[in-house]
Amino acid sequence: MTTNTAAAPGTTPQVIVLDTGGQYCHLIARKIRELGVYAEIRPSSTPAAQLSGAKGLIISGGPCSVYDEGSPTVDPAIFSMGAAVLGICYGQQLMALSLGGRVRKGEKGEYGLAFLEIAEGANPLFAGTPARQQIWMSHRDAVEKVPEGFRVIAGTDTCEAGAMVDTLGRLYGVQFHPEVVHTPAGRRILSNFVFSICGCRPDWEPKHQIPAIESRIREVAAGRSVFFFVSGGVDSTVAYTLCLRALGDAKVHGAYVDTGLMREGETEYVKDVFASLGSHGFAVEDASTGFLRALSGVCDPERKRHIIGEQFVRVQEEILERGHFLDSQWILGQGTIYPDTIESGGSANADLIKTHHNRVPGISELIASNRLVEPLHLLYKDEVREIGRELGLPGDLLDRHPFPGPGLAIRCLCSESSAPVERLGPGWLIPVRSVGVQGDCRTYMPVLSVGGLDHDQARRLINEYPGINRVVAAVASQAEIPEMKVCPSDLSAQRLARLRRADAIVRELSAESGFDRQVWQFPVVLIPLGTSERPDSVVLRPIHSVDGMTAQSVTMDVELLQRMASKLLRVEGICGVFYDLTHKPPATIEWE
């Protein structure tokens, strides 16, 4: 992770999250900040002496088993230093094991919705929440015996120790994830811990951090100018605007690289955005030929991301050299935010979920040479939007759906060989693999196609069939699914044009109907499934989220869906239309 702090309230954090490598670690911190209390992340192994002053500690979930060699640990002294402690998932198991309890190594994982039964008796952690409540589970192991002095205060049908407490020591553990939206009472549970148990006071509001962020930009720049590669999205535009304010127009330059992997009309939109900012140092670089040539014949998604990242660095160096920006008076600026670093394995214990284009070796070299400023890298998407509103940026920009840096390349799936679909349970196994995240670990598995838009069925099937991490519904097609097959395909200009047209249709109909305001993001994915005449199919992936760390698949109005499918099937080469029913977790938002 980078060390250039984006925001700091100038006070000791009241809550510190101890990171054991869980994908939700930063989501926990964001939820605490959302309550108005400043929280920071520290490695789980941080000595207790370095945590003094914190009123509360939260041990995050993680991808390991507590019995794995080299698995993350905590300093046992944290349990007696006076701060209240909450262990979540792996954090509860680690707490139990550290204090003399016993953890059962799970043979089968539990992922998804469950129902928690709260034990009778007063309990400040669950105060004001239902006696039976929906929660979100994502674990393999579970606490089998609580430590001496603890008692079980909640459980589920499959997990007896769903929550435990040592009231005297103010030590709490929960097997579920209160920080995710799928646990409806999770906000109240965290609020109870932060205020009632820890005794914290409100001290955090993102928009009030603007002066500190601008001061830090000037400190990192140290008289040098900043060069941005901007995307026109929320993050890079807010970061660019902050640098304009902090350093002045003459010190900030930007380039938009047209990779040939962009949506219809994207380049024109970005030009208009930066013209409205009054930036005189902005230019467009057409690098599409080089990107498409480098990606020709590449099917593996990680290779795609690495190639795109290295191409970005190569283009960056060409632009900087051409503009005489390679001397010591220039540094690189980026709009990186928290989820970019944690999902790229930016935490010491984190499992790599996917590789981001701004975390490839070329960018790491810039970090090492102290030539990088990332004003937003400790902020979450909702906090970035709040800062953007305070800066006076237009609402249509701030409310724009996120779009991945690698562009349409990671939404255009490829295959090196042919493969037929196969019958599996109530559906068809499609031999196109997508990225998932289960138990804080990366998975890469085939997709199950079923009939009907049933999210509950999708969740059950993923738990029932361990070889899948994603379920889609077949909406409409030009051929029966058993007649379709996965065909050899690469990232060709023809397939990108096909996806670009499909994406434009979806965006147009979503905007006309107002559906785009009901979702946080709406990826449109092209998969190489079809017939010889129509070799590709489209997958619709509308989701609701706050910052991308978790997401829920959103159901679309049937009439709108049918209109959308009808138009998509008229696009040359498209055989079928599918609808992604999978939440995150167990699937990631993007397919690659």
11: Cβ contacts below 8 Å, ≥ 6 apart: 38, 203
Residue 573, Cβ density class (10 Å: 0-12 exposed, 13-18 middle, ≥19 buried): middle
Q: How many CA atoms lie within 13 A of 128 on its CB side?
A: 13
Catalytic residue among 40, 110, 159, 177: 177
Element (H, E) at 161: none
Bond into 202 cis (ω within 30): no
Are the C-beta atoms of residues 18 and 46 closer than 8 Å to each other? yes
Buried/exposed 276-298: b ≥16 CB within 10 Å, e otherwise: ebebebbeebebbebbbebbeeb
Report which DSSP code applies to 574.
Answer: E
Residue closest to 506 by CA, chosen among 264, 269, 268, 271? 264
Alpha helices in 223-346 (DSSP H): 234-247, 266-276, 288-295, 301-322, 338-342
Task: Tell me whether residue 177 is one of the annotated catalytic residues.
Answer: yes
Q: Is 414 a catalytic residue?
A: no
Whole-number Cα distances in Å, 47 to 50, 73, 76, 174: 6, 11, 9, 23
Answer whether 404's CB lies under 8 Å from 301's CB: no
Catalytic residue among 179, 343, 590, 592: 179
- The catalytically annotated residue of 25, 89, 200, 414 is 89
The answer to whether 264 is a known catalytic residue is no
Are 312 and 257 in contact by the 8 Å Cβ rule? The answer is: yes
Give catalytic residue positions.
Answer: 89, 177, 179
